[in-house]
Amino acid sequence: MDIQIGPHLYRNSNGIIEVEGVPQIECEPHPSGGFPKISFALFDSAGKMPAKLVNGSLAINEGRAYALERHSKGLVMRHHESGKDILHMVLEEDGRLVIDRGEFYTLKAHLLTITPSEWTLETTTGQKGETDLKGKAVSLG
């Protein structure tokens, strides 16, 4: 599966995105070629999990603090109070899954920020480029 995070394209991944060594996002291709089934563990700044997305549905949503908008080619997970996009994903015509914006904490309580021009985690920044993962997980941080 090809996954683009910010401007960087990760080709031939296994659909798992590891952040600081921990699988945080899992993308399972849809059998009919539609938008993949997405699982995502959302952590707060203390390492607690206030929300969890399982196969594209909110399985945990403490205090109903998060909203999930799904459509045939994408999804947006948003924090109600701040209006901030936690995770924005779109399936492009070529089958590439694009995460073009988002802001969320890792299990280690570090902030990962994704914009169309870069992704940033602590002192690591990913910019425009391409990596062939040869069936392995995307690894950030």
C-alpha distance across the termini of the chain, in Å: 20
Res. 33: pLDDT tops 80: no
CA distance linking residue 74 with residue 89, whole number of Å? 5
pLDDT tens string 95-140 = 999 999 999 999 999 999 999 999 999 888 888 999 999 999 999 9
pLDDT value of position 14: 97
- CA angle, 23 as apex, 21 and 24 as ends, to 5°? 115
pLDDT tens string 9-32 = 999 999 999 999 999 999 998 888
DSSP code at position 35: S
pLDDT value of position 25: 98
Domain segments of the chain: what residues? 3-131
- Please provide the size of the chain in residues: 141
Distances in Å between the Cα of 141 and the Cα atoms of 65, 72, 87, 126 are 27, 30, 18, 9
Mean pLDDT across the chain, nearest whole number? Answer: 95
Model confidence, pTM = 0.93
pLDDT value of position 34: 84
pLDDT value of position 39: 97
How would you write 11-53 as a 3-class SS string? ECCCCEEEECCEEEEEEECCCCCCCCEEEEEEECCCCCCCEEE
